[in-house]
């Protein structure tokens, strides 16, 4: 006579055996992905090196969601769109959030001071990069300079226009 526990125990052992194989197969794949990510420097921010700093225009489809009611854009001379976009709300204690494009990647930056400070030109910082916008009083409307400085060396200035929506 068969015990009524044989069938449920058999199913339990079968499930345990199958789930053990799936876990062993997944672990090497996860380890490979982690190793690939650690080796792939292209996924890290551009924080140093000998290459010159090259900021490029952000396309509309690449723009990150930014917090704030008012927007400012820095367009480098000769480029079709903004290389830096920042937003802030009214109020001196507000935080400005921004995005810039370098090495084909759009990265985040932030600064303190709210929209009044942002409109005048301000410093925004993020991982490995500091961006400073300064308005130029040369008579040209919205003329400004954007200085990009890497945390671990390298700096470059760009001439262009800094315009804000009031």
The full set of domain ranges for the chain reads 6-39, 60-164
Residue range 135-145, pLDDT digits in tens? 998 767 899 99
Q: Whose CA is closest to 156, among 45, 53, 48, 46?
A: 53
Question: What does the pLDDT average to over 97-112?
Answer: 95
Q: Which residues contact 78 (CB under 8 A, 6 or more apart)?
A: none
Among the listed ranges 28-32, 41-45, 71-75, 98-102, which one has the minimum average pLDDT value? 28-32
Q: Would the CA dihedral through 103, 43, 155, 128 be positive or negative?
A: positive
Choose between 157 and 12: higher pLDDT: 157
Residue range 58-103, pLDDT digits in tens? 999 998 899 999 999 999 999 999 999 999 999 888 999 999 999 9
Question: What does the pLDDT average to over 104-129?
Answer: 95
Q: How many residues does this entry show for the chain? A: 166
């Amino acid at each position: 006579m068969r015990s009524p526990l044989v069938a449920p125990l058999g199913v339990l052992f079968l499930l345990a055996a199958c789930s053990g194989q799936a876990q062993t197969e997944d672990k090497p794949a996860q380890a490979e992905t982690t190793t690939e990510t650690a080796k792939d420097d292209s996924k890290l921010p551009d924080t140093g090196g000998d290459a010159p700093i090259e900021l490029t225009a952000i396309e509309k489809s690449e723009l990150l969601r930014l917090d704030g009611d008012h927007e400012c854009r820095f367009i480098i001379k000769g480029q079709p769109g903004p290389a830096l976009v920042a937003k802030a709300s009214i109020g001196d204690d507000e935080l400005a959030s921004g995005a810039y494009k370098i090495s084909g990647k759009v990265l985040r930056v932030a600064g303190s001071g709210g929209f009044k400070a942002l409109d005048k030109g301000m410093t925004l910082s993020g991982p490995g990069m500091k961006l400073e916008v300064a308005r130029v009083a040369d008579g040209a409307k919205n003329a400004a300079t954007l200085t990009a400085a890497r945390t671990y060396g390298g700096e470059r200035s760009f001439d262009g226009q800094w315009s804000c929506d009031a």
